[in-house]
Structure 1
Amino acid sequence: MTFDIKTTKKHSNADALSRLLVPIGNEELNEESYDVTELYMIQQLDSLPVSSKEIQRETVKDTTLKVVYDMNASGWPASANNLNEALKAYFTRRNEISIYQGCLFWGIRVIIPQNIRSRVLEELHEGHSGIVKMKTVACILVWWPGIDKDLETLVKSCKGCQDNRPMPPEAPIHPWEWPQRAWQRIHVDFAGPFQGSMFLVAVDAFSKWPEVVQMSTTTADRTVDVLRRIISRNGLPDSLVSDNGPQFVFETFQDFMKYNGFVM
């Protein structure tokens, strides 16, 4: 028995599977290539409450964005000295601004013209999700100079957003320590006006004994004089508690406490 040895190139009985898996000749597979960036831009535009055609049309009508569009296409000036304040906001971002389908983009965010910004704000505001959620969504989709301020103004003027906003946590109650003796700590404040007069009220925290003095003026000097008489009858306290009104933080009153050896 003899064998006819052939090289692989001379084989003509290749199976069908190998022919299906290997491209014939050097022809490439007929696959459509996609630009990932282009697909993302299309998705961004489709996510907006306004169409890309409308954004393109309003961009041309917007006096500021028309200039930005032209400068982005033809070249930005070397400095912003001759630009107005509205254009300076775009000049600082000039290296991140691009054009797609006649629409301006800052990074991945679509720059919305002035005339249709209110519609975009209404869409962001739908559901009264709150300022944090609205800013988060805006950071993904849209931008224009002052958008954060516009969102904050919208939320502050919306009663529904104010009613649904989370309340701040309650501060823990810190009770006063009970004094060990009478006149150790006194609490002072002004009451009035009543019938044209003010009243200085000093209460002992231990015995709850009140001292009430009618006053025609409530200056720091007059307050020191009244407290000096009260202390002369009851003794020097260790501490004095007030609401830090102007009389109690004035230099005259601070010197009075320092010389008498008690603190506020």
Structure 2
Amino acid sequence: MHYIPKFLFIINNEDVNKFRKLSDSLSICHGCLVHGSRVVIPQSLQSKILDLLHLGHFGMERMKQLARTAVYWPGIDAAIEMATRRCDSCGEHQNKPSKPPVHPWMLPEKPWSRLHLDHAINFMGRDWLMITDAYSKYPCIHPTSSTSSRATLDLLEEDFAHFGLPHTLVTDNAPTFTSEEFQSWCKERGITHLTGAPYHPATNGAAERLVQTFKQALRKSSLPPKRARQEFLMQYRRTPTSCGFSPSELLNSRQLRTRIDTLLPSPAHIAQGKQSKEASKSQMTPDLKAVVKVTRQYKAGDPVYALYHGPRRDKQPRWVPAVVKKSLGTRCFNVMVIPHGPVWRRHWEQLQPRYTTEEDNEPGEEVDTVSELVTDHPMEILETVPQTRRQTKPKGTPSVPEYGPDNPRRSKRTRKPTERLCC
């Protein structure tokens, strides 16, 4: 091996200048120029060496690794890259390029503005039309026996009758969506129809994801397909998404009521309870509540004093002895004036407890035979005197005025003639 003297690189030649930086590693071995352990290939033989390196149709990196063990010339890496790119066989059978960063769809400004459509073909013995709203993720799924354009349009019109017409429909390039009938239908209704590149399902990823989720749910369910679809739709529409709101709330501005909601009190019940509590606090003190609870719990047969609202004579009682006949709720009662007087309707504020003696409970007295005359208005007073079972008052019973519509009060005072002053 002989090293090349450095004075030879003083020659001003383009080919020689390429080796000027490599002068320390160049040598001559058996009449060949060598760069380290690699033979320097002249320009006339470089194309043949490239063909030898590319015999296995390997990629650029493998060819470079192989070349670095045997051959060299200035710019060999660039020559290998160019030879690989120009190979027709490698270009026709190369792998797919790496996936670019995901470019998401823009979020619509309002719900039911952009819909994504797709078909789930031959699943569970039939086809399914899948619809999802890009804004709310609200799904609509319809079983169908045909994927024709007419059958698909009929199902779309059914949903549009509920939620209105969208602005945009996004589909794949299936014949159902690319037909002239489908295109004209969208044009007549002012709907923009967008399609992705053929065989690129990621463009319509929202619908593809709904198809995948729906298939997994039905495979896991033990219910018939019809029931399983209904259960899936209700749970999907009720479950909050990553934004914290459910599809039903985003689309309809209200939450669906499912069986899980029966565990919680409804807002109406909570509001009513708070209103009742506040009303009780404002109207009744704790002491009054205790008194009412003890003294104003009446039942049928309890002796009471009933307030008389008609005109009274002098020294006639305002509170009349009576017996509770029937409870008309929590605050109203039917009471009968004893012994056989009229039946009145009184509020509990118009009743007072009466403490009876043995004379008040005679064996022959029957209270339940008096007719109940009750009207629908809770505060109306029943002053009607019953026409049946009128008996003579037993001795010792206090006189009670029996006034009513048939027996108005009239004064029995003896009128004296007017004395006029005569002049």
TM value normalised by structure 2: 0.28
TM value normalised by structure 1: 0.42
- Structure (1 or 2) with the greater helix fraction: 1
Q: Larger Rg: 1 or 2?
A: 2
More relative contact order in 1 or in 2 (CA 8 Å, sep 6+)? Answer: 1
